[in-house]
Structure 1
Amino acid sequence: MVVKTAIATRQPIAIDRILTGTVESSEAVTLTSRVMGQIRQLTVREGDIVQAGQRIAEIDVRDIQAQQQQATAAIPQAQSAVSIAHSAKLTAQAQKSQAQARVQEAQAQLTEAQAELADAQLHQQRMVMLRREGAVSQSRLDEANTRLSVIQARISQAKAGLTQSRTTVRQAQAAVVQAQAQIRQAQAQVEQAQAQVKQTQANLDYGTVIAPFTGVIRHKYTEVGAMAGPGESIVKLERSGHLRLSVDAPESLVGQIQRGKSVLVQIDALNRQIAGRINQIIPAADPRSRNFTVKIALKPNQDLLPGMFGRLQFSSITRQNAAARQGLMIPEDAIVKQFGITGVFKVVGQQAQFNPITTGQIEGKTVEVYSGLERGDRIIVNPSPKLENGTALQVS
């Protein structure tokens, strides 16, 4: 019988590593309260699918509504204070203008009186000289003295009026500055009241917790009637359809894991494999386990759910493990079964001889042999069903 043969040889065997992990959502968020209040409504349960913008919870915000009403009422009061301050400024400016006019009037009177003073002094001196000579009567001298006294009194009065008017100008200017400060203060109160209204309106909006995206409620942390506070968790929401497998890989495999590589993930719960792609390798090993976290983006599947168990198989041959893991390999097509016994037909002295074998790991189209053969044994590939022990062979 003409047969085709192959030689049993020792070859390096890939080391299979199984990495286990958990299916998780690639995007998850914990919705929290931003205001203090009692939860009035909580319309979802764990496992519910919610749509983006859907209302999740309603918080009692009556205290905030009261604050908003108070802030709204403060706006007209602050605006009225602004009007009053503007009126005070206009009054002070008018008083300042009047005082400046009086300063100018007093200055003019003083200038006029000072001019008359020089003439009166000259006339009085002339009258004194003439009186000594007997050229004029005493009454004429008295008239000159009286005129000089009157003018001097007018000068003193004008100076006093000028001083008072200047003081009034300074007081009016101070009143203007004070009124401007009051205007700024009142306007700040208006802005503060308006900001308070906006803040309370925002807090009222925060009283309604809505879903930021379409997803599944994975956990509910509270119930209706409980008190919610800023930062306290209400529900955990995971985005639908964007799932990934998270596994811990030992540092010995990190160099063989390539980002962007397509892989198959075995999901035991579905009894099937899901296509995936390595999209993230977190380059920070756990100092205790020396493991790196690897994220595999999974192809969308309606039956795949977060929390499912997944397995990822890696096969590797390196210079280090190739020397340590050598196996006796034969073609898979050479294996036959006779009477429930797995074996091969070996060529011995140009005759066929059935040898039971113990098989191990399968590598492509070859199989590892644990026992029953030796290195260099020639075996028959694709043996004919008519082949028996002792059949004469012609090896091709």
Structure 2
Amino acid sequence: MRLLSIAATLLLAGAANAETVKLKPVTVTEWKAVYGTIEARNIVPARARLGGTVTQLSATEGDIVKAGQKIAMVEDEKLGFQIAALDAQIGALRSQLTAAQADLARGEALVERGIVTQQRLDELRSQAGVLQNQITATEAQRSVVIQQQSEGEVDAPADGKVLIVPLTRGAVILAGEPVATIGGGGLFLRLSIPERHASALSQEAEIRINIDGRQIAGKLVKIYPQIENGRVTADVEAGELNTAFVNARVLVQVPVGERQALLVPANAVVTRNGVDFVSVHEDGETVERAVVSSETIGRPDGTYREILTGLAPGDEVVLP
């Protein structure tokens, strides 16, 4: 009996000397779970400058391309025929110019002997000049057609990943149609939040992003003023949005307000038979109270559990 009395005395002394925490309401952030979409910062179509048939197509969805890299070739067969026709015209004009220059040379020799008048010589000189100008104009027209032919090469407009290739080799397209769509400039997260939370949003607010089974931090950098279909659009910057998919949806937690809550250290909550208990120092004794706890909240000074019922402000919680 004496030994039991001593043991009981030691237990009471240990309980009395145990560390306690006095509960008081603290301010916690209210989070709203929404879905966000990972989007490319710049989405640029690679357009064909020339209408015709796609003869080469070296890019497909998912390829990484550099600005200026050739991804397709469009050819218009009519341009080849036009170049051949212009070459024939230039050849004919050059033959006429050769004959006109020969007549001009003879005329210059005959005018000195008085056989040909000066008026006729001027006509021959003018005819040679007209033919030379016609050759120059035709060659310039040929250069324009050659330039059009070279514009059949479709280059990537920016560095990035090929998102969409809407056609195949052999397809016929018009000038200005997109051959591929390039997504570049990095990734960002776009949110669509119910308008009832619009007044609680603020720029530079910290955002929680759940992606690929891990949680990363982001920052709300832009809130768009126009509400569409009852939702507010906002953009989030995050440095670890590396993903193989664009327009992927991820779960995001957005701060939409603050509230008062009772928090106890997570290790102070003991679960037995599905019921949570917290030890409380009351009237010089340590007793256990059944509580209803909520989510686990991480704070800079540790991990806490929110107590919904079973405790009140001012209670002294005994820490293990």
**Scaled by the length of structure 2, what TM-score is found?**
0.70
Q: Is the 8 A contact 1:335 1:342 kept in 2?
A: yes
Shift of 1:339: 4.9
The amino acid across from 2:62 in the alignment is: G
Distance 2:264 2:36 in 1: 35
Alignment CA distance shift 1:64-1:54 (3 Å)? same
Q: Deviations 1:31-52 (Å, cap 9, x if unpaired)?
A: 2222221223333433344455
Distance 2:137 2:255 in 1: 67
1:102-181 to structure 2, matched below 5 A, reads none
Alignment CA distance shift 1:219-1:287 (3 Å)? closer
Q: Is the 8 A contact 2:203 2:223 kept in 1?
A: no
Q: Is the 8 A contact 2:210 2:251 kept in 1?
A: yes
Alignment CA distance shift 1:27-1:82 (3 Å)? farther
Distance 1:41 1:341 in 2: 69
2:25 corresponds to 1:10: yes
Q: Is the 8 A contact 1:248 1:294 kept in 2?
A: no
2:63 corresponds to 1:33: no
Tell me what 1:162 maps to: none
Alignment CA distance shift 1:277-1:378 (3 Å)? closer
Q: Deviations 1:329-372 (Å, cap 9, x if unpaired)?
A: 33434323345532211222111110111112425244321111
Tell me what 2:74 maps to: 59
Alignment CA distance shift 1:257-1:277 (3 Å)? closer
Q: What is the RMSD of the two structures over their aligned residues, measured on CA atoms? A: 4.0
Where does the alignment leave 5 or more consecutive residues of structure 1 unmatched?
A: 96-171, 384-396
Question: Which of these residues, 282, 286, 307, is aligned with residue 227 of structure 2?
Answer: 286
2:283 corresponds to 1:336: no
2:142 counterpart SS class? helix
Distance 1:206 1:234 in 2: 14
Where does the alignment leave 5 or more consecutive residues of structure 2 unmatched?
A: 1-13, 112-118
Shift of 1:244: 2.1
Tell me what 1:375 maps to: 313
The amino acid across from 1:198 in the alignment is: S
Distance 2:222 2:279 in 1: 48
2:301 corresponds to 1:356: no
Shift of 1:290: 4.6
Q: Is the 8 A contact 2:160 2:183 kept in 1?
A: yes
Q: Is the 8 A contact 1:8 1:378 kept in 2?
A: yes
Tell me what 2:8 maps to: none
Distance 1:264 1:198 in 2: 59
Comparing 349-358 with 245-254, which one deviates more in the overlay?
A: 245-254
Question: Which of these residues, 153, 167, 173, is aligned with residue 228 of structure 1?
Answer: 173
Q: Is the 8 A contact 1:68 1:196 kept in 2?
A: no
Tell me what 1:308 maps to: 248
Shift of 1:228: 1.1
Larger Rg: 1
Larger relative contact order (CA 8 Å, sep ≥ 6): 1
Q: Deviations 1:162-196 (Å, cap 9, x if unpaired)?
A: xxxxxxxxxx8xx99xx69x96x878755653443
Give the share of equivalent positions with the same residue, in percent: 24
2:313 counterpart SS class? coil
Shift of 1:255: 2.5
From the two aligned structures, give the one with the greater helix fraction: 1
Alignment CA distance shift 1:284-1:206 (3 Å)? farther
Shift of 1:8: 2.4
The amino acid across from 1:229 in the alignment is: L
**Scaled by the length of structure 1, what TM-score is found?**
0.58
From the two aligned structures, give the one with the greater strand fraction: 2
Tell me what 1:265 maps to: 209
The amino acid across from 2:20 in the alignment is: T
Tell me what 1:167 maps to: none
Distance 1:363 1:80 in 2: 91
Q: Is the 8 A contact 2:54 2:169 kept in 1?
A: yes
1:252 counterpart SS class? helix
Q: Is the 8 A contact 2:68 2:155 kept in 1?
A: yes
Distance 1:373 1:274 in 2: 33
Tell me what 2:192 maps to: 248
Q: Is the 8 A contact 1:12 1:326 kept in 2?
A: yes
Aligned residues: 286
Q: Is the 8 A contact 1:245 1:298 kept in 2?
A: no
Tell me what 1:326 maps to: 260
